Amino acid sequence: MSRSRMAVAAVLVPTAAGAVALLGAGAASAATPYSGNGYVGVNFDQNETRFIADTNAGNLLGPIPDRGWRVNLGPGSIYQPTGNVVYATVDQIVDEAASHGGRVSITLSDPALWNGTYVTGFQRW
């Protein structure tokens, strides 16, 4: 991924988190940032996940190229991969997590450590 795409991805993860806070997911936000060796991300609680689903805020991450995405699906997800490809949008992944009373997380990898920039979406329920 080019540096310009990395910059876009680096801006979009906190932007999505900020959109939830600004649009009113709750007075006491439970969006929790996290980081580790070679990654940074944000966990959204059940209420924020529902809010993201209801407002289609997952579409804010649409400009990230498909090959830059990774996804870890929740158990029994209807979006089972075909080979290594999951045919679903970010918004659909969020909607499914919300429909299960679950939550989502978004992680951005460090290209210097992971041989590329990847945005990973996690469903948990």
pLDDT at 11: 52
Answer whether residue 57 shows pLDDT above 50: yes
Looking at the DSSP bridge assignments, the partners of residue 124 are 103
pLDDT at 29: 64
pLDDT tens for residues 26-39?
A: 545 678 999 999 99
Which tokens in the block code for residue 60? 């804010």
Answer whether residue 25 shows pLDDT above 60: no
CB 49 within 8 A of CB 94: yes
Q: Tokens 């407002």 — which residue?
A: 55
User: SS3 letters for 64-99?
Assistant: CCHHHEEEECCCCCCCCCECCECCCCHHHHHHHHHH
Which tokens in the block code for residue 42? 């944000």
